[in-house]
Amino acid sequence: MRTAATAAGSGNGNGNGAGQPAKRSLSTRTLLVQSEGLVNDQYGASMPPIYQTATFQQPGAIEMGEYDYSRSGNPTRTVLEKQMALLEGGERAFAFSSGMSALAAVTRLLSTGDHVVAGDDLYGGTSRLLSRVVPAAGIEVSNVDTSNLEAVKAAIIPGKTKLVMLESPTNPRMQICDIRAICTMAHEAGALVCVDNSILTCLYQRPLDLGADIAMTSATKFIGGHSDVTAGILAVRDPALADRVYFVQNAEGTALGPFDCWLLVRGIKTMALRMERQVANAQRIAEWLAAHPAVHSVNYPGLPGHPGKDVHDGQASSAGSIISFITGDATVSQTVVEETQLFKITVSFGNVRSLISMPCFMSHASIPADVRAARGLPNDLVRISVGIEDVDDLLADLEQAFDKATAASTAGAAALPAAAST
């Protein structure tokens, strides 16, 4: 994937128009590393200094400098936000204290009486925000299967729907929605579109290029990559919309602190290396799971049978490294999760270390059980975030965990009393 940023090619260097060096776009992989133009340090530092300060001294009583208070702006944060805007193809980007604070800022763009259309397979925290916080402001929310374009079209109310909230792939069922088509529908009805792109990041999918107004990424995940920072990024195409987002960020004080910004600037540089290894590992693991007799189905857009694969391949350059699967038995799934040694039982994803969880009891536990059931989110669903370890070690770990789970299930079934005949 290439961006609008350019680099000079060969040329005669004489300064004449005809002899100007040829310009070509730089790939995202290069821009992840090459951020020198964004760091304007007086000593020539290649990494931005950490401006760990709350306030900035001003040149005079009525003359204000570029920065005055770190809630409103900080040089370390500026470097991060400029780089993320470049990577996302946006006008501006904004760094928040968490992914949820970034999404909450998006909902602050709404007013009482507005209507939101959102997916019915979203991150649990997003579902909680939209079902329990946003309605308190007099805003109506409709949840639909966003992989079904007709359902999305039917849910949008022209003139009333002001926001469409998407994930693609969704978390945790890895469903795919046609971002381009939904953006067209939404814009015709006068609505904004926000895409949570946390699973793929700008490395593999750029929602703004597909027509979205706002691209949101939980930087806690792949951008940071090491589970040592909590952060969220919003990237925006339209300058006027960017001004509104900045107003909310500054007014509510949800901007990311300088040290956390610095951690993300550092993490960005190795993002491609990490994610490419994670994706390669995930493809092997998804194929292994799909062939395992104890697995009923695997949700991963890199597999040929995924129902949204064609749409996904048309808007993203990778399937990512998040996999979910069901076994048909919550006890079997629990045993698999608890018997793994290399996969750590934890919420979240995007770490260099492989993670495993049961969403219904962890990341999506805030969604009522009846709602989860209605949305096709079963208790036996397991989500894997694949790390950068040796894939053969990961496969061996899964194999021994499945062996123990199936053995325990067989033993339990054998111990049950025979059903009475009638």
Residues with a catalytic annotation lie at 71, 123, 196, 221
Q: How far apart are CA 63 and CA 57, in angstroms?
A: 11
In order, the DSSP letters of 142-178 are EEE-TT-HHHHHHH--TTTEEEEEEESS-TTT-----
CA distances from 94 to 88, 201, 339 (A): 11, 15, 40
Q: From 145, 232, 139, select the one nearest 191 (Cα to Cα).
A: 139
Classified as helix, coil or strand, 377 is coil
Burial class (CB in 10 A: 0-12, 13-18, 19+), 260: buried
Q: How far apart are CA 32 and CA 44, in angstroms?
A: 19
Asked if residues 166 and 197 have their Cβ atoms less than 8 Å apart, the reply is no
Count the Cβ atoms, other than its own, within 10 Å of residue 230: 18
DSSP annotation of 322 reads E
Give the N- to C-terminal CA distance of the chain in Å, as an integer: 65
Peptide bond into 169 cis (omega under 30): yes
Mention every residue, 6+ apart, whose C-beta is less than 8 A from residue 254: 96, 97, 101, 102, 104, 105, 248
What is the enclosing helix (H) or strand (E) of 331?
helix 330-339
- Token pair 């949700």: residue: 299
**Side-chain half-sphere of 141: how many Cα atoms within 13 Å?**
20
Using the Cα atoms of residue 264, residue 268, residue 272 and residue 274 in order, give the sign of their dihedral: negative
DSSP annotation of 352 reads S
What is the enclosing helix (H) or strand (E) of 373?
helix 369-374
Asked if residues 254 and 234 have their Cβ atoms less than 8 Å apart, the reply is no
